[in-house]
Structure 1
Amino acid sequence: MAVKNLEDLFVHSLSDIYSAEKQLTKALPRLARASTNPDLATAFETHLEETQGQIERIDEVVDSLGIKLKRMKCVAMEGLVDEGKEVIEAVDKGPVRDAALIGGAQKVEHYEIACYGTLCALGKQLGYTDAVQLLAQTLDEEKATDRKLSMLAEQGGANEEAAQAA
Structure 2
Amino acid sequence: MKPKTVQELFIHELSDTYNAEKQMTRSLPKMARASTAPDLAAAFEQHLEETRGQVERIDKIVELTGFKLKRLKCAAMEGLIEESQDLIDEIDKGPLLDIALMGAAQKAKHYEIASYTTLVMLAGKLGLTEAASLLEETLAEEKATDEKLGLLAQSAAMDDAIEDEVADAKA
Alignment TM-score, normalising by the size of structure 2: 0.94
Residue 5 of structure 1: aligned partner: 5
Distance 1:158 1:22 in 2: 32
SS at match of 1:138: helix
Structure 2 residue 87 is the aligned partner of structure 1 residue 87: yes
**Contact kept in structure 2, 1:153 and 1:159, CA below 8 Å:** no
After superposition, residues 77-156 of structure 1 pair within 5 angstroms as 77-155=77-155, 156=159
Distance 2:84 2:77 in 1: 11
Q: 1:128/1:90 Cα in 2 relative to 1: closer, same or farther (>3 Å)? A: same
**Higher alpha-carbon Rg:** 2
Structure 2 residue 164 is the aligned partner of structure 1 residue 161: yes
Task: Could you tell me which runs of 5 or more consecutive residues in structure 1 were left unpaired when the two chains were aligned.
Answer: none
Q: What is the aligned residue count?
A: 166
* Counterpart AA for 2:23: Q
* Counterpart AA for 1:59: D
SS at match of 2:119: helix
* Counterpart AA for 2:160: G
Percentage of matched positions with identical amino acids: 57
| RMSD, aligned α-carbons | 1.0
* Counterpart AA for 2:25: T
Shift of 1:16: 0.2
Alignment TM-score, normalising by the size of structure 1: 0.97
Q: 1:126/1:90 Cα in 2 relative to 1: closer, same or farther (>3 Å)? A: same
Distance 2:59 2:51 in 1: 12
After superposition, residues 49-68 of structure 1 pair within 5 angstroms as 49-68=49-68
Distance 2:22 2:111 in 1: 14
Moved over 6 A (4+): none
User: What do the CA deviations read for 1:87-146 (whole angstroms, capped 9, x no partner)?
Assistant: 001000000000000000000000000000000011111101000000000000000000
Task: Could you tell me which runs of 5 or more consecutive residues in structure 2 were left unpaired when the two chains were aligned.
Answer: none
* Counterpart AA for 1:15: S
SS at match of 2:84: helix
